Structure 1
Amino acid sequence: MAYRPSKRFKKTALGASAALVLVALNAPATLSFAGDKYHAYKIGQSSYKIQYGSWNLIDLPDRYKVNAMHAALLHTGKVLLIAGSGNNQRNFDKGTFDTILWDPSNDTFKKIPTPEDFFCSGHAQLPDGRLLVAGGTARYEVLDGKVTRAGGGMRVKNESPDKAVTLKKGTLFRSPTGVEYVSRFDVTVPRATREFEITYGRGGQMQPWRTKVTAAEARVFVEAVREGRQGLTTEAAQYEVLGLRGKDADNVYGLAERLSTVKQDFQGIKSAYEFDPLAEKYVPVDPMKDARWYPTLVGLQDGRVLAVSGLNDVGDVVPGDNEIYDPQTKKWTKGPFHYFPTYPALFLTQGGNLLYTGSNAGYGPKDKGRAPGVWNPATNEFKKVGGLTDTDQLETSSSVLLPPAQDQKVMVLGGGGVGESKLSTRRTAVIDLKADAPVFRTTAPLPQGTRYLSSVLLPDDSVFTTGGSTDYRGRGASDIHKAQFYYPRSDSFVAAADPTVGRDYHSEALLLPDGRVATFGSDPLFADKDNTKLGKFEHRLEVYTPPYLYRDPARRPVLGAGPDAVEPGGRVGFPSPHPERIERARLMRPSAVTHSTDVEQRSVELGLTRTKDGVTLEVPGDPTLVPPGWYMLFVADADGTPSAARWIRVKAPQKAPPSSDVGWMPPE
């Protein structure tokens, strides 16, 4: 529906038309200014806002401007914006790592001490409201043509069954031909394992004990000390560790097969932290076994968190060794084995399976781990699902579990080709996991091919989509200054107000407790259409107010104070001045989003009973539908106008999770 100005505005415009034409003939820039003024007038009208909503830029003081790579909503209502080094190697080299805490209720900001480089980490909400942050950056990439020293992974062996050995960063390894390589990180090699064997002679007599020692192994990235071709090697060899004495010199050595000057990718870290929303600080927990850069962390039904994929400590995609974090013990154990490209979109589905939509964000070969499927972590069975078109354009696509979660429908939106491809697609598709044979079915297309699209669930059961670009990292000034609503029931897109700020790579969007949507970040490769001017990271913070917040405020549903926790399957009551206006209730899990990947958000329908002075709400008892943790509780009227949210914690099931020493256990 086109905007139509009021009669009063028509008269004013007509009266000024001659002057505007004269100005336009002499100064096209003035005409452009007049057009901007008209646009500002138009979008400021109540009639426009009621139909399309509005955008507002938040005044962000210079000292709080941050390269927001990650965004997470905490149960305090504040938003954690994590930059780490912020895709800026100078910050990395200086050890300057940033995190900002934003309070949307009063637009205040706070700097949070950041102990390590969480740039390109993974994150997930924990049952007690803390945010698990794991992985990040150990080393920036060195592109082809820029590598001056041969380097690669060195396997460090330890044959001593009596003690572990730690080699500090800077340890030297010498090849059989005398070429020396230096380690870039500390590495600890566990002690070797010792097994005793019993043998018997011909007469049945027990023979003396025999022992078998199996060397332990760890991995570290090394570079040649000197530049040039002498450090290149393509043959397996054993390397002496310089500085060791006695038995250590005999027991500890390096093995490498290929040390080259090809591109050296980013390398991950093993570190993990919990961010405490009340103390507003990072708290260290046990590190992961594998280093991870670009990992996905997904919460499970028992409150534990599964970490998958990422680039490891030598820059390779983790080959399928996944891990599980137990928030009760603060430790990691081995998870089910499966290979995924980095930042895969994995959704916990009813029954405990995980759906991989094929959406991912970056690293990995074109022909491995790209096919979507349903993964049963208990049996490690992975069943591929078909139906998607443009399957070569799933990288940088968006995925959401459509509202309400009980419908068990998951949508994929847009995407592009692998790597720096110029391809982008309008394709959207939905899979119904309740079907006898689930497959993706094509749904209403996006207005144009879009990668890096942000997709946010709203409390009126729509999906708000915004931003993105048609080309890799916004090349060619391809950022899309458009937003729209997707309505699952009618399979249709409806236009929303246009954002001021373009968003592409390294951008995020999330739902706030007051029903607005906040958007952050963007890391364009270039700043002009001809790709001659380097882009700059987008620091502006822009908030969208949906049309439902421009309806009559006196009729907006209101929830009074009530319980802040509920058992699975439990019932809770809240007072309300007009319960007769309340038609539905939703629990909405807060986002933890990065790189177009947000597997946390979900909207769960609640049972609703009206009383004379409030409502009674029933929470589903299935933790695979409602994983334990804090949720925003919204109620809405028949038109979808939501209340402001109340925070409530869904407790973990009474039965304790499996013992941490047995790794993954199937749900019962």
Structure 2
Amino acid sequence: MNDSAGRRRARRFAIGTAAVLALAGMNGPWVYRVGSEEYHQYKINRPRYKAENGHWDIVQFPEEYRQDTIHAALLHTGKVLLVAGSGNNQKNFDKKRFDTRVWDPVKGTIKKIPTPKDLFCTGHTQLANGNLLIAGGTKRYEKLKGDVTKAGGLMIVHNENPDKPITLPAGTRFTGRENGKAFVSKDPVLVPRAKKVFDKKTGTYLRNDPGLGRIYVEAQRSGTRYETGTQDNYRIRGLTGLDARNTYGIAQKLALDKKDFQGIRDAFEFDPVAERYIKVDPMNEARWYPTLTTLSDGKVLSVSGLDDIGQLVPGKNEVFDPGTRKWSYTKKIRQFPTYPALFLMQNGKIFYSGSNAGYGPDDVGRDPGIWDVDSNEFTKLPGLSDPDRMETSGTVLLPPAQDEKYLVIGGGGVGESKLSSRRTRLIDLKAADPRFRDGPSLEKGTRYPQSSILPDDTVLVSGGSEDYRGRGDSNIRQARLYHPDSNSFTQVADPLVGRNYHSGSVLLPDGRVMFFGSDSLYGDRADTKPGKFEQRIEIYTPPYLYRKSRPALGGGPRTIARGASGTFTSRDAARIKKVRLIRPSASTHVTDVDQRSIALDFRTSGSRITVTVPKNRNLVQSGWYMLFADDRHGTPSKAQWVKVP
């Protein structure tokens, strides 16, 4: 280039720079924002940046298919079940508009699924047959104190007759003996018969302990004059003779206080092939915000939740038998807050990390520990930091699952507390004396963190908010990869969408991660505008998918028994360094007790890879899994679906 040409280019550059500076003088912030955004887009879309940090893409469904997704689960068909129910929208609830979608992330197709009940805030888990068990949901929305027009609350019905139970229909009238005020039940109630109590040494009859039934009652008319201030004994209209003498109600204050959500007993299996709900026997207890956890024998434990009168289920846990599709109570009572993080251990016991989603007393069932469901023995685990900030924290079983190490992430104070935690906590349950110790800190106090196990043994931690439900525009648009081998985080590309309450994440069979939901209370920093439910889906493509090639995997069996082997084909067999069996997610409210990544022993010969499934049924629960093969760079194959019977 000659000197004159160089001077002309320099002059044009100077003129352009002067023009930009002149505009900046008049509209500096606007020019800066436009320039910064353009540069940011250029930066995050460079191949090298993607290969180091990954990339985020937004998926926006056509308007007619959008919904407020609360729950998501990966099906063994490769599709994703997206459940909204009423979607935390009382107008939908009042109209009985309950939504479910099945989305195919490969083909991009979306299908509306008839939804039989309000499965908003239900519990779910993967079953051995490939169906998804779904239990509980919403019977009634909460009413804040200012919206309650009729005094009401909990009535405990006593039956002192040891010879027979008694059933009271919905609409039963209760009249206070002292206050004279009348209340009506909203549902039927079965009150068990009284229990005769005898002296253990002499066999002498001592007394009858009355059978108890719980029912929600409400004044017949609106107004404060129908409130009661103290406990009273209530006569039951319609009873005569011995029934009238033996049966009565006792209620504390019945007032215009806030009324919590109420749960339902309904349970369903979702069939991924037929793509429909199948009704099974209802639970014994109504539950809103329950956790479902698979046990050692393949049955499913249902724990906690708010019942049909808006009270925390009083420790009555129950088990679903997939063979009979029926429920039965466990022998002992143990109470937890709602959506407790409960994981099946390799010895058949249950690990409770202390993570939960909220409702429940702040001094009951909060301590982490190991629970033997059969004996009801509970061994507390020490060392947990920020123990008063465990609501809305996340817990993940670190890969490989054989190591039985867990990571507990962030969390917040009880209820609508502004407190949030920057802590991560680690615990090794195989240690001689297991106790929590702190892992690497988060940059900010984080409620509702999403965590997804990846095929390369890292864990993607993303989203959340510093405050309750994103108050004060506190969503955290950051993502990190946690490395179990080095106990460290590395920063990756930032998500485009904020995610807090009612959000979740699911690993897809191609190694990407899907994020859904988010339900902010407010839409601005000043907390003056109502929030809007986030209906967009976002997909994170990890760095390993921007490398030159990924190993191939195919041609293997669809079923491999525990302790048995199966052979797959791959032209890249020689460069495979590890094989992982990953259970598909069922995610909601920062709770996903299904996901786990199991290391498989393997050997290669030519273009063949032979893998062996571990024998422990508590480690490898029956059901469908994604089988990934990783090369020496940590790049995974696309998953092959394998069923473990």
Q: After TM superposition, is the score higher than 0.5?
A: yes
SS state at 2:473 partner? coil
SS state at 1:20 partner? helix
Contact 2:165 2:190 in 1 (8 A): no
Alpha-carbon shift at residue 217 of structure 1 (Å) = 4.4
Q: CA RMSD in A?
A: 2.4
Alpha-carbon shift at residue 183 of structure 1 (Å) = 2.4
What residue in structure 2 maps to residue 329 of structure 1?
324
Structure 1 CA distance, aligned partners of 2:388 and 2:168? Answer: 44
**1:186-585 mapped onto 2 (5 Å cutoff):** 186-189=187-190, 192=193, 217-226=212-221, 227-242=223-238, 254-335=249-330, 336-553=332-549, 556-585=550-579
Alpha-carbon shift at residue 156 of structure 1 (Å) = 4.0
**1:649-668 mapped onto 2 (5 Å cutoff):** 649-651=643-645
Unaligned runs of 5+ in 2: 1-11, 199-204
What residue in structure 1 maps to residue 40 of structure 2?
39
Task: String of CA shifts for 1:171-226, please: whole Å, max 9, x gaps.
Answer: 43333354222223x324267479999xxxxxxxxxxxx9x998754322111112
Which residue identity is paired with 2:154? Answer: G
What residue in structure 2 maps to residue 181 of structure 1?
183
Establish whether residue 23 from structure 1 lines up as the match of residue 19 from structure 2: no
Structure 1 CA distance, aligned partners of 2:86 and 2:142? Answer: 13
Which residue identity is paired with 2:185? Answer: S
What residue in structure 1 maps to residue 101 of structure 2?
100
Alpha-carbon shift at residue 99 of structure 1 (Å) = 1.1
Structure 2 CA distance, aligned partners of 1:41 and 1:632? Answer: 35
Which residue identity is paired with 2:184? Answer: V
Contact 1:345 1:356 in 2 (8 A): yes
What residue in structure 2 maps to residue 607 of structure 1?
601
Contact 2:231 2:250 in 1 (8 A): no
Contact 1:356 1:375 in 2 (8 A): yes
Which stretch of the first structure deviates more once superposed, 464-473 or 174-183?
174-183
Alpha-carbon shift at residue 21 of structure 1 (Å) = 3.0
SS state at 2:634 partner? coil
Alpha-carbon shift at residue 582 of structure 1 (Å) = 0.9
SS state at 1:38 partner? helix
**1:585-596 mapped onto 2 (5 Å cutoff):** 585-596=579-590
Contact 1:232 1:261 in 2 (8 A): no
Which residue identity is paired with 1:505? Answer: Y
What residue in structure 2 maps to residue 662 of structure 1?
none
Contact 2:505 2:514 in 1 (8 A): yes
Contact 1:119 1:137 in 2 (8 A): yes
Contact 1:175 1:240 in 2 (8 A): no
Task: String of CA shifts for 1:78-137, please: whole Å, max 9, x gaps.
Answer: 111111111111211221111111111112111111111111111111111111111111
Provide the TM-score with structure 1 as the length reference.
0.89
SS state at 1:565 partner? coil
Contact 1:267 1:313 in 2 (8 A): yes
Alpha-carbon shift at residue 460 of structure 1 (Å) = 0.2
Structure 1 CA distance, aligned partners of 2:189 and 2:311? Answer: 19
Establish whether residue 619 from structure 1 lines up as the match of residue 618 from structure 2: no
Say if 1:218 and 1:366 are closer, same or farther in 2 by CA, change over 3 A.
Answer: closer
SS state at 2:534 partner? coil
Count of aligned pairs? 622
Alpha-carbon shift at residue 252 of structure 1 (Å) = 6.2
SS state at 1:116 partner? coil
Structure 1 CA distance, aligned partners of 2:15 and 2:109? Answer: 45
Establish whether residue 632 from structure 1 lines up as the match of residue 637 from structure 2: no
Alpha-carbon shift at residue 274 of structure 1 (Å) = 0.9
What residue in structure 2 maps to residue 109 of structure 1?
110
Structure 2 CA distance, aligned partners of 1:348 and 1:129? Answer: 19
Structure 2 CA distance, aligned partners of 1:270 and 1:486? Answer: 38
Alpha-carbon shift at residue 315 of structure 1 (Å) = 1.6
Task: String of CA shifts for 1:334-381, please: whole Å, max 9, x gaps.
Answer: 124211111111111111111111111111222222111111223211
Structure 1 CA distance, aligned partners of 2:135 and 2:13? Answer: 57
Contact 1:138 1:313 in 2 (8 A): yes
What residue in structure 2 maps to residue 167 of structure 1?
169
What residue in structure 2 maps to residue 658 of structure 1?
none
Contact 2:138 2:264 in 1 (8 A): yes
Structure 2 CA distance, aligned partners of 1:215 and 1:247? Answer: 14
Which residue identity is paired with 1:624? Answer: N
SS state at 2:514 partner? strand
What residue in structure 1 maps to residue 8 of structure 2?
none
What residue in structure 1 maps to residue 9 of structure 2?
none
Alpha-carbon shift at residue 236 of structure 1 (Å) = 3.1
Structure 2 CA distance, aligned partners of 1:229 and 1:387? Answer: 51
Task: String of CA shifts for 1:593-634, please: whole Å, max 9, x gaps.
Answer: 111111110000001110212100000010111111111111
Structure 2 CA distance, aligned partners of 1:361 and 1:558? Answer: 40
Contact 1:450 1:469 in 2 (8 A): yes
Say if 1:493 and 1:16 are closer, same or farther in 2 by CA, change over 3 A.
Answer: farther
Say if 1:241 and 1:285 are closer, same or farther in 2 by CA, change over 3 A.
Answer: farther
Which residue identity is paired with 1:122? Answer: G
Establish whether residue 85 from structure 1 lines up as the match of residue 86 from structure 2: yes
Which residue identity is paired with 2:600? Answer: L
Structure 1 CA distance, aligned partners of 2:228 and 2:564? Answer: 65
SS state at 1:542 partner? strand
Structure 2 CA distance, aligned partners of 1:180 and 1:563? Answer: 67
Structure 2 CA distance, aligned partners of 1:470 and 1:401? Answer: 24
Structure 2 CA distance, aligned partners of 1:530 and 1:258? Answer: 37
SS state at 1:31 partner? helix
Say if 1:122 and 1:14 are closer, same or farther in 2 by CA, change over 3 A.
Answer: farther
Contact 1:136 1:294 in 2 (8 A): yes
Alpha-carbon shift at residue 387 of structure 1 (Å) = 1.3
What residue in structure 2 maps to residue 660 of structure 1?
none
Which stretch of the first structure deviates more once superposed, 17-26 or 434-443?
17-26
Provide the TM-score with structure 2 as the length reference.
0.92
Contact 2:463 2:475 in 1 (8 A): yes
Say if 1:241 and 1:562 are closer, same or farther in 2 by CA, change over 3 A.
Answer: farther
What residue in structure 2 maps to residue 205 of structure 1?
none
Task: String of CA shifts for 1:541-573, please: whole Å, max 9, x gaps.
Answer: 1100001001112xx111113211111111111
Which residue identity is paired with 1:181? Answer: F
Which residue identity is paired with 2:65? Answer: Y
Structure 2 CA distance, aligned partners of 1:14 and 1:611? Answer: 65
Which residue identity is paired with 2:563? Answer: G
Structure 2 CA distance, aligned partners of 1:309 and 1:22? Answer: 64
Task: String of CA shifts for 1:60-84, please: whole Å, max 9, x gaps.
Answer: 1111111111111111111111111
Contact 2:174 2:234 in 1 (8 A): no
Which stretch of the first structure deviates more once superposed, 136-145 or 479-488?
136-145
Unaligned runs of 5+ in 1: 1-11, 198-209, 652-668
Structure 1 CA distance, aligned partners of 2:444 and 2:213? Answer: 48
SS state at 1:435 partner? coil
Which residue identity is paired with 2:535? Answer: H
Alpha-carbon shift at residue 284 of structure 1 (Å) = 1.1
